[in-house]
């Protein structure tokens, strides 16, 4: 038996022989049910009073209680109430020889799984018990998954003890229990997605869905379809009705990543649903109402985007109810050793490596690096080093060349191509480095990388092809 199971509640994986507690003051009923249920594969316990049933529940796990209504002392309704309060994971099925609709409704309101009238038909009872067992297993599975998700996405995986990160924790704790919209800001790779998860799983919506969408990764038409859904025939290729993220996230949280990249026409529709909670699917006429908490994230200065007419001012103030700014890694270097240790343990386990620590030399170089890709870049660097290591310690030799500080060089000499390299080759290498850097900074989103480089998207695509750049090989996930 799983030692983590609650008293009176069977562990999820222990479902091969469910335990039924039969409670009835008539001996003939108890004996008949004992025989029939035992033959059906159930483990049966018997009690002739409500008081005896409670004693049994205190002493052993029980999956389902099958109880009579009319009994001396604690009757069936009182027993149902007690079980519902003390052992909420245990199903209760009521039996009575004096069944009425009113009693059935009252029992169901108090938490009974089902209601059956005496004399009990064996086939009907076994069908009800099987449904009860399956529903109980499903509820326990959901509880386990929720607990696992809370552990995975709670603060346990948000690493940092610096004042900058303590401020982030305080802000998350303050806003999580509310339904206020949250705007997460900070450079790429600082952990905005992880903080979004933490807000959801510390909120009252944690049992609801948590969905994400990258607003910069989809063209306007497809983004609207993904956000709001579409009706069959709304456009070429819409062969069936599609529920968008807002419908799917009803009762939960929707994280809009890179919200600053959202086209202006889509921003109008987003503002409408944020203000009213109502929207229409693309190509639809019926109004749909949802209850969704929005967490938005961006690596851009949205006020600057507003000034330049690329982001609606009214939408900015609607999203910016509660802003949490995540600091770049270079501003919290004291957290780097904690992060390195965390990632070593994570990836040593994942890849089956003996690595447990980093050498002082490696840790020193990791701490001195500027980390333009922030925590995400550090994580991938540590994973690479763990894969390369065959000992319990990561050495500085297993770190990529970018982490090793470069010795000072003569400024004019550094402008010269390497020996044997033509000026054309040197310019090509420099151009490639600039394109790669822009793509990495913008997580592979070509529209944003083109804007950063001051060229059109078509021009950037041409350069990517010409320089033989494979985006998935150079962009950190």
Residues 415-442 pLDDT 10s: 556 565 677 777 777 788 888 888 888 8
pLDDT digits (tens, 9 = 90+) for 105-151: 777 778 888 888 888 888 888 888 888 877 777 666 655 555 554 44
pLDDT in tens, 174-219: 999 999 999 999 999 999 999 999 999 889 998 899 999 999 888 8
Exposed/middle/buried for residue 383 (C-beta within 10 Å: 0-12, 13-18, 19+):
middle
Pairing of strands 293-298, 288-289: unpaired
Number of helices (H), then strands (E), in the chain: 20, 14
The pLDDT, as a whole number, for residue 416 is 59
**Neighbour-count burial of 234, counting CB atoms closer than 10 A to its CB (0-12 exposed, 13-18 middle, 19+ buried):** middle
**pLDDT above 70 (res 446):** yes
> Helix, strand, or coil here: 149?
helix
Dihedral angle computed from the Cα positions of residues 284, 285, 290 and 293, in that order, rounded to the nearest 10 degrees: 60
Q: How far is CA 407 from CA 186, 211, 298, 308, in A?
A: 31, 46, 35, 41
418 compared with 46, residue with greater pLDDT: 46
* pLDDT value, residue 3: 33
Name the strand (E) or helix (H) holding 108: helix 101-109
Kindly state the greatest CA–CA separation across the chain: 102
Query: What letter does residue 94 receive in the DSSP assignment?
Result: E
- The 10s digit of each residue's pLDDT in 375-400 is 999 999 999 999 998 889 998 888 88
Q: How confident is the model at residue 2 (pLDDT cuts 50, 70, 90)?
A: very low
Q: Where do the domains of the chain lie, and which CATH numbers do they carry?
A: 19-146 (3.40.50.2300), 154-327 (3.40.50.300), 330-403 (1.10.8.60), 416-474 (1.10.10.60)
Q: Are 170 and 160 in contact (CB under 8 A)?
A: no
More confident residue, 447 or 412: 447
CA distances from 122 to 40, 64, 67 (A): 10, 16, 15
- In 210-252, DSSP assigns E strands to 210-214
State the Rg of the chain over Cα.
31
Higher pLDDT residue, 471 or 188? 188
Q: Supply the pLDDT for residue 61.
A: 87
- State what percent of residues in the chain have pLDDT above 70: 86
Q: Cβ contacts of residue 229 below 8 Å, gap of 6+?
A: 241, 242, 243, 244, 246, 247, 281, 282, 284
Beta strands at 288-289 and 278-279: parallel, antiparallel or unpaired: antiparallel
- HSE (CB half, 13 Å, CA atoms) of 65? 36
State the DSSP string of 124-135.
HHHHHHHHHHHH
Q: According to the model, what pLDDT value does residue 100 have?
A: 61
What is residue 216's DSSP assignment? T
319 neighbors 294 (Cβ within 8 angstroms) = yes
* Residue with tokens 């990836």, as numbered in its chain: 347
196/249 Cα distance (integer angstroms)? 14
How does DSSP classify residue 407?
A: P
C-alpha span between 203 and 106 (Å, rounded): 32
pLDDT digits (tens, 9 = 90+) for 304-362: 999 999 999 999 999 999 999 999 999 999 999 999 998 999 999 999 999 999 998 89
Query: Highest mean pLDDT range out of 6-20, 77-91, 148-162, 344-358?
Result: 344-358
Report pLDDT for 294: 97
pLDDT at 471 over 90: no
pTM for the full model? 0.57
Q: What is the reported pLDDT for 6?
A: 33
Q: How confident is the model at residue 476 (pLDDT cuts 50, 70, 90)?
A: low
> Which pLDDT score, from 0 to 100, does residue 420 have?
58
Lowest mean pLDDT among 13-17, 83-87, 196-200: 13-17
The candidate with the shortest Cα–Cα distance to 50, out of 11, 81, 13, 90, is: 81
**pLDDT, the chain, mean:** 85
Q: Say if CB 295 and CB 256 are below 8 A apart.
A: yes
Contact 108, 91 (CB under 8 A): no
End-to-end CA distance of the chain: 41
Question: Could you tell me whether strands 91-96 and 114-117 are parallel, antiparallel, or unpaired per DSSP bridges?
Answer: parallel
Q: Tens digit of pLDDT for each residue in 66-75?
A: 998 888 999 9
Residue 15 predicted with pLDDT over 60: no
Q: Is 321 exposed, middle or buried (0-12, 13-18, 19+ CB in 10 A)?
A: middle
Pairing label, strands 182-185, 293-298? parallel
Most confident of 321-325, 364-368, 473-477: 321-325
């Amino acid at each position: 038996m799983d030692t983590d199971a609650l008293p009176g509640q069977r562990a999820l994986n222990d479902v091969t022989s469910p335990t039924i507690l039969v409670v009835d003051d008539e001996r003939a009923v108890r004996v008949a049910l004992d025989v029939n249920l035992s033959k059906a594969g159930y483990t049966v316990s018997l009690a002739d009073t409500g008081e005896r049933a409670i004693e049994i529940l205190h002493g052993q796990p029980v999956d389902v209680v099958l109880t009579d209504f009319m009994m001396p002392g604690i009757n069936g309704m009182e027993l149902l109430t007690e079980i519902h309060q003390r052992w909420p994971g245990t199903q209760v099925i009521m039996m009575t020889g004096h069944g009425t609709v009113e009693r059935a409704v009252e029992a169901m309101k108090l938490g009974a799984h089902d209601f059956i009238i005496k004399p009990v038909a064996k086939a009907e009872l076994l069908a009800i018990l099987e449904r009860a067992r399956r529903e109980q297993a499903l509820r326990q599975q959901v509880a386990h998954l929720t607990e696992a998700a809370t552990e995975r996405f709670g603060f346990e995986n948000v690493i940092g003890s610096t004042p900058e990160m303590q401020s982030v924790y305080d802000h998350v704790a303050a806003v999580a229990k509310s339904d206020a919209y949250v705007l997460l800001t900070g450079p790429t790779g600082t952990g905005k997605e992880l903080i979004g998860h933490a807000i959801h799983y510390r909120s009252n919506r944690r049992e609801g869905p948590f969905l994400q969408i990258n607003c910069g990764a989809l063209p306007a038409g497809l983004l609207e379809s993904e956000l709001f859904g579409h009706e069959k025939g709304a456009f070429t290729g819409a062969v069936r009705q599609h529920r968008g993220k807002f419908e799917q996230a009803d009762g939960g949280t929707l994280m809009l990543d890179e919200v600053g990249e959202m086209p202006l026409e889509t921003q109008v529709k987003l503002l409408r649903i944020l203000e009213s909670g109502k929207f229409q699917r693309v190509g639809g006429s019926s109004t749909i109402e949802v209850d969704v908490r929005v967490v938005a994230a961006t690596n851009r200065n949205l006020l600057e985007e507003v000034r330049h007419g690329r982001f609606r001012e009214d939408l900015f103030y609607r999203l910016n109810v509660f802003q949490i700014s995540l600091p770049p890694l270079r501003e919290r270097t004291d957290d780097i050793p904690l992060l390195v240790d965390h990632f070593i343990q994570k990836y040593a386990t994942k890849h089956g490596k003996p690595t447990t620590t980093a050498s002082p030399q490696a840790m020193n170089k990791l701490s001195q690096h500027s980390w333009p890709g922030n925590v995400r870049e550090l994580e991938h660097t540590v994973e690479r080093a763990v894969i390369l290591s065959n000992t319990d310690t990561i050495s500085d030799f297993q770190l990529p060349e970018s982490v090793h500080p470069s010795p000072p060089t003569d400024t004019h000499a550094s402008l010269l191509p390497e020996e044997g390299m033509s000026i054309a080759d040197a310019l090509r290498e420099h151009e490639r480095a600039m394109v790669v850097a822009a793509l990495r900074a913008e997580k592979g989103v070509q529209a944003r990388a083109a804007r950063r480089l001051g060229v059109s998207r078509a021009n950037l695509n041409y350069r990517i092809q010409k320089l033989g750049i494979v985006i998935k090989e150079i962009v950190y996930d």
